[in-house]
Amino acid sequence: MNPPPDDQPHHHHSLHSFQRTLESAKRTMMFSEIVKLAIDSFKTSKVRFALTALGMVIGSASVILVATIGLTGKQYILNELSKIGTNMVDLSYAGGGSAGANVTSNNDFLTRDDELAVQQQVPAVAYSSPLLQMHDRVAFPGGVVKDVLVLGVSPAYRQVRNLVVLSGRFFDEEDETTHTKVAVVTVPFARQRFGSADAAINQTFQLRGIPFTIVGTFKESIPTFGTSEIEDQTILIPYSVARYFTGTDNVKDIFFSIRDRNDVEDAAKEIVAIVKSRHQPNSVYTATTLTAVLTTAAIVANALTIVLLLISAVTLAVGGVGIMNIMLATVRSRIREIGIRKALGATAREIKLQFLIEAIFISLSGGLVGVGVGLAVPLSARMFTSFIIPISPWSIVIALFTSAAIGVIFGTLPANRASQLDPVESLKYE
């Protein structure tokens, strides 16, 4: 008996949807199956899996460690530089000021009043000190005469220039106001003259016939290699006393220390503007800061880190080649298995997927372990020492991303090779 005609298309439709369901079921099953297969294949060849993953472990760990080393180096460089005084603005007179070309007396030097004006008008300034420079003959007990650099500075000079007082003390506001004849000398100077830094304390010398007492020794907190106004043989005396010798209010430089490193450039502009407004219109004053040095140092440090990262990426690539070799060997040793699966209706795509997933699995698990290893070093340093080693979250992202990508890139060739095998040939393969 024939079925009713209107039933025909309905039957066809349900068959079609059934086929679709079957396909998608097959595909979803395939995916979970593929992952199972991958895990099975790892269980059967543990050593091979471990050795392959090891390449990725080393690569990922090296990416993270390299980034850490680069960042630590950068931090160290910037910290060292900031000891020179990255918050410092050095204001000096650059010339100009007189109308007549032959009038030399009309130089428009900086004065102590300029310093006070800036202190009142620029809130960003924390400390300031004038600098008077004299090269003078200094007479020591026992008739020794030496040429020494004498700098007249205020007590705040110590903060501005980050000086370290090694023995004795630095002169203070009281010495400055009472014009006490005290001096602070460099360590090399103290050693050369008196044998040691401590021995120099309370010794006296004469400057233009006036006796001074040494109350302390100092050094710069970081060697500036002759780029600063302090020389090996330097004596610092209170500015108020140094003024006796020069007889004028003129100073060579004024140093300002700015509270926040980020305000240095703006403060420098303000300082120059204030000082210019107090002097003749065509006088030139320059403010020197170390911000440019810091920026350059940061750029150099970043460039070095990038170079190091590229080197470690090479390590990762080497790991990738290892994965590819092992996966190719895997394909060869599993030709029969592939043949059977193809004969049972596995499509090329599914087989390709199986091998790809295996490759990604290997490289990602290697990558994860590598990230763990890489982070263990800076983290343990943080836990067991006082060092805070910077950790770059980017290096973790890069390491994981690269290891996954390498799994894909180097897994594709073996996967393609596997998917193109002829099932009949494969089944015959011994």
- More confident site: 414 or 429: 414
Do the beta carbons of residue 150 and residue 136 sit within 8 Å? yes
Q: Which residue has the higher pLDDT, 152 or 38?
A: 152
- Per-residue pLDDT tens over the stretch 255-304: 888 887 777 788 888 888 888 888 887 788 888 877 777 778 788 888 88
Helix axes 348-384, 7-44, angle to 10 degrees: 50
CB-count exposure of residue 113 (10 Å: 0-12, 13-18, 19+): exposed
**Neighbouring C-beta atoms of residue 34, cutoff 10 Å:** 19
Say which residue the tokens 């501005």 belong to.
160
Position 184 scores a pLDDT of: 92
**pLDDT band per the 50, 70, 90 thresholds, residue 26:** low
Q: What is the mean pLDDT of residues 117-146?
A: 82
Distances 244 to 68, 134, 179, 239, 361 between C-alpha atoms, Å: 55, 12, 10, 9, 81
Comparing 252 with 174, the larger pLDDT belongs to: 174
- Cross-strand bridge partners of residue 214: 183
8 A C-beta contact, residue 425 and residue 339: yes
Q: Which of 100-104, 196-200, 214-218 has the lowest mean pLDDT?
A: 100-104
Q: What are the contacts of 346-349 at 24+ separation with CB within 8 A? A: 346/30, 348/419, 348/420, 349/419
Q: Cα–Cα–Cα angle for 168, 174, 179, nearest 5°? A: 95
What does the alpha-carbon distance between residue 295 and residue 75 come to, in Å, rounded to a whole number? Answer: 13
Residue 128 has pLDDT above 80, yes or no: yes
204's enclosing H/E stretch is strand 204-207
CB atoms within 10 A of CB 186: 25
Helices (H), 234-290: 239-246, 264-277
Residues shown for the chain = 430
> In which band, very low, low, confident or very high, does the pLDDT at 84 lie, cut at 50, 70 and 90?
low
Strands 253-258 and 125-140: antiparallel
The answer to whether the CB of 70 falls within 8 A of the CB of 309 is yes
Band of residue 12 on the pLDDT scale cut at 50, 70, 90: low
Burial of 241 (0-12, 13-18, 19+ CB in 10 A): buried
Count Cα neighbours of 4 within 13 Å in the Cβ-side half-sphere: 3
pLDDT at residue 2 tops 50? yes
With a cut of 70, say whether residue 227 has pLDDT above it.
Answer: no
Instruction: Quickly list H helices, 151-263.
Output: 157-160, 173-178, 187-194, 197-200, 239-246
Q: How confident is the model at residue 321 (pLDDT cuts 50, 70, 90)?
A: confident
Q: Which two tokens stand for residue 250?
A: 């003129």
Q: In the chain, helix, strand, coil percent, each to 5?
A: 60, 20, 20
Cβ atoms of 153 and 130 within 8 Å: the answer is: yes
pLDDT at position 358 over 50: yes
C-alpha pair distances (Å), 107 with each of 103, 250, 304, 385: 8, 10, 47, 57
HSE of 85 in the Cβ direction (CA atoms, 13 Å)?
A: 26
pLDDT of residue 182: 92
Check: CB of residue 268 under 8 Å from CB of residue 262. Answer: no
CA distance 206 to 185: 14
**Residue pLDDT, tens place only, 151-193:** 889 888 888 888 888 888 998 888 888 888 999 988 888 888 8
Give the separation between CA 179 and CA 380, rounded to whole angstroms.
54
Tell me what the pLDDT averaged over the chain comes to: 79
